Amino acid sequence: MVSNISSALNAYQQALGRISAQEQKGVVETEKTEASFGNMVKNIIEDTTELSKQAETMTLKGIQGKADIQDVVLAVANAETALETVVAVRDTAIKAYNTIMQMPI
């Protein structure tokens, strides 16, 4: 029982280390330009596409036995969360558009 708990703690610590290393790699200084709604949407879609590609790559590596299962699950979960966010924003934008179109002039 003690070895299971200690091995679980070690696994969580390793996963935390990988997550923080990925976050540090992902930190990029962006130029301070005038942000528009179109640019924001474009950037979100590009980021979501990139996360999906990373998840697919990590899944293939996992199938080949070249990646840890924790990395595969983390990559797929990140891609799924990003996609759910994009879908939620899309649904909200459509709902807002429909509401505006129903307003009397």
- Residue-wise pLDDT for 43-66, tens only, equals 889 999 999 999 999 999 999 999
Model-level pTM greater than 0.75? no
Q: Encode pLDDT of 68-90 as tens digits.
A: 999 999 999 999 999 999 999 88
What confidence category does residue 4 fall into, taking pLDDT thresholds of 50, 70 and 90? low
| Chain center to CA of 28 | 16
Longest dimension (CA), the chain: 71
Residues 6 or more apart in contact with residue 11 via CB below 8 angstroms: 70
Residues 6 or more apart whose Cβ sits within 8 Å of residue 75: 51, 54, 55, 57, 58, 59
8 HSE (CA, 13 A, CB side): 5
Neighbours of 94 (CB within 10 A): 10
